[in-house]
Amino acid sequence: MKTVVTTLNAKYIHTCLALRCLKAYAEPEFPIEMVEYTIKDPVMNIVSDLFERKPDVIGFSCYIWNIEETLKVIEMLKKVMPEVKIVLGGPEVSYDTKDWLEMTPDADFIVVGEGEETFKQLLEELSTTAKYHMVFGLAYRKGEEVIINAPRPKLKLEEVPTPYRFDEDLDGLSKRVTYFETSRGCPYSCQFCLSSIEVGVRYIDIDRVKSDLLYLIENGAKLIKFVDRTFNIKRDYALEIFQFLIDNHQGCVFQFEITADIMRPEVLSFLNEHAPKGIFRFEIGVQSTNDATNELVQRRQNFQKLTRTVTMVKEGGKIDQHLDLIAGLPEEDYNSFRNTFNDVFALRAEELQLGFLKMLRGTGLRLRADDHNYVYMNHAPYEILSNNILPFSDIVRIKRVEDVLEKYWNAHRMDTTVEYLVEKVFDSPFDFFQEFGDFWESKGWSRIGHQLEDLFTRLYQFLEARSMPNLDFIKGLMMIDYFKNHKHKPRKTWWGFSLPKEQQSAILRRLAEAPEQVNEEFSSLKLNEKELHKHTMIEVLPFSLKSYLEDGTIEATEELLIAYFNPKVEKSSLYTAPLHSMAVH
C-alpha cells in the first residue's frame, strides 16, 4: 500500500510541519512519501503529478488558505483515480466535520484534531481489517451515514518521533522556512482563535528540542519559525532556548510568537545584552486596545505592560518586531479601530500587520456570530463583511489603509518621509494612511502594478493634490529615502534634477579636489573625479539635514546632498555639505 501525504502551501518557500509529523509517526511500519505544492500551481499539474506517483492513499493537510484549491484537486483525482483513498486532516476540516463529509463526497476520511496516531491507525485498518470504528479521532461514511468516532486522547509528546531529520529536506533547509514546535496548546481563550479550543500546554523535552535545532542549524537552516502559540509562557524554558540559540545560531534567524505583556523586564534586558543583532524576530498579537472588545473575546491583555515590552525591545536594537491588529472584532467600530491603530503605530514596531477578522470554524466568535450580527464570507477564509457597528463601507475604507500601510510603512521604503507626515502634518498616523489610501483608490492605482519610482511619484501627487505646506521640504525627505533604497546608483530619479549638468560636473570636480569640506569619512573614501561621476549622485536640499535629524528643526538653508553608492559593499551612504562651500554659484 503506497501512501502519499501532501498539501498546498501559500508559497514555495513555506513548508508543512504537519506532513513531517505524520511521516515520522507512521514510519517505518508505513513508508510515507511527502510532496508539497502551492496554491498557485495549476490543479491539472498537481493531479498529474499525484497520478504519476500511483498512490493507494493520499492525505491532504487542509487550512483556510488552501481548502478551496484542495477541493478542486481531490474532485479531479477521484475522476482519474476512483479507487484511491482520500484522507483530509488539519484545522480547516477538524470542525464541522459532518458538514465537510456531506459536502465533499470525494473525501473518504477525515482525521480530526491531532493527527499522527489517528492517521497511522487508519493506515493499519486500510491495510488489514477495515474496522474504521476502532480508530479514535476518525470521521468517515458508512453507506449514506456519516460516522464520527470518539476523539483521541492527546499524544504524549515525548513519544512523538522528531519530524526534522528527513534526508529529502536537507537540500531545502537554506532556501525555505522551517517550522518548529516546542509545545502544543495555548493557555488563553481568545474567541477568534482556534488555539483557544485546546486547553492546556504540553511541552517537548528541552534536550530533544536543542538537539533538533542544532541539527537544523548545522545542516544549513536559515530561517526557523516557532509555531508555539505563546513561546514565552514558560519563562525558564524560553530563556534556556534563547540562550541555546544565542550560543549556536550560526547566522540562522528565529521567529517567535510571544505574549508581550507577560515578558519580564529581566528577560528583555538579557536579550538586549546578549542576543546578536538580527537573529531573533518577535511576532506580537495586539489585535485591539479597546478594553470592552478584549473582554468580549475573552482576551486578557495589559497594554501598558505590552508597551513596556515593545519599547524595551526596540530600544535594545537587537530584535525586529511584528505587531498584529484585527479589524472587525466585536464592538470595535471605525473610530475605535482608528484609536487602536494609532495606539499601536505609536510603538513604531518594524512591521504592523493590519488583518481582518476571520470567522474560523470551531471558534467561539463564529458560534456566537448572531450576537453581533456578523456577516461573513461563506467560503474560506470566512472574512468578515460587516457586523452590527462596522458596515461594509467602513471595512472597504480600512482595507485601503492596509494597502498603503504595506507599501509605505512595512516595506520601509520611506521611513524618513512617513515619520514626518504622521507626526507633523496629519492629525494621526491612521488619518495619513486613510487619506492616502482613499486617494490611491480614486486614481485606480490598486488595479495596476508599480515600480519603486511609482511609489514616490504617487505619494508626491497625493501631497500636491492636498496643497501640502512645506512641499519642497517633504520632497527633500523623499529624495533622501529614494537614495537609501538603492544599493547601486539608480539610472533615473522620480524628480527632475535641480542642477544643470555643467554645475553637477563642477561640483564633482570640487569634491574630488577637496573632499575634506564634506567630512572626514567622505574624505577617507579617496574618490577621484571619475569614480564620483560613476558612483555618486548630487542634489540640493532646501534645508539642513543635520539640524532636522538632530532636533527636528527645519532650517531654511540650501545644502548639497551627496549620495555615494559603494559597489564594494552594495550600500548607499548619504553626506551633506553647505552648497556655498563648493564654490559653484
Grade residue 583 by pLDDT with cuts at 50, 70 and 90: low
pLDDT tens column, 155-171: 999 989 999 999 999 99
Residue 205 has pLDDT above 80, yes or no: yes
pLDDT of residue 552: 79
Range(s) within the chain of domains with CATH label 3.80.30.20: 164-385
Whether 472 shows a pLDDT value over 90: the answer reads yes
Q: Model confidence over 120-155: pLDDT tens digits?
A: 999 999 999 999 999 999 999 999 899 999 999 999
Distance CA 415, CA 441 (A): 22
% of the chain at pLDDT higher than 70: 99
**C-alpha Rg value of the chain to the nearest Å:** 28
* 584: pLDDT strictly greater than 70: no
What amino acid occupies position 533?
A: H
User: Does residue 265 have a cis bond before it (omega within 30 degrees)?
Assistant: no
**573: enclosing H helix or E strand:** strand 571-578
331: amino acid identity, one letter: E
Tell me where in the chain the CATH 3.40.50.280 domain(s) lie.
Answer: 3-148
Judge contact between 268 and 242, C-beta under 8 A: no
Q: What is the mean pLDDT of the chain?
A: 95
Residue 232: how many other CB atoms lie within 10 Å: 22
Tens-place pLDDT, residues 360-415: 999 999 999 999 999 999 999 999 999 999 999 999 999 999 999 999 999 999 99
Split at pLDDT 50, 70, 90, the class of 556 is: confident
What is the CATH code of the structural domain delimited by 164-385?
A: 3.80.30.20
For residue 585, what pLDDT is reported? 46
- How far is it, in rounded angstroms, from Cα 584 to Cα 561? 14
Q: What pTM does this model have? A: 0.93
Share of the chain above pLDDT 90, in %: 90
Q: Return the SS3 of 26.
A: helix
Give the mean pLDDT of 3-9: 98
**Whether the predicted pLDDT of 266 surpasses 80:** yes
- Tens digits of residue pLDDT in 410-447: 999 999 999 999 999 999 999 999 999 999 999 999 99
Q: Read off the pLDDT of residues 27-51 as tens digits, 9 standing for 90 and up.
A: 999 999 999 999 999 999 999 999 9
Determine contact, residues 37/65, Cβ cutoff 8 Å. Answer: no
Of 252, 256, 211, 249, residue with least CA distance to 232: 256
Residue 299 has a CB neighbour count (10 Å cut-off) of 20
Cα–chain-centroid distance for residue 82? 39
Share in percent of the chain as helix, strand, coil (round to 5): 45, 20, 35
Output the CATH code of domain 3-148.
3.40.50.280
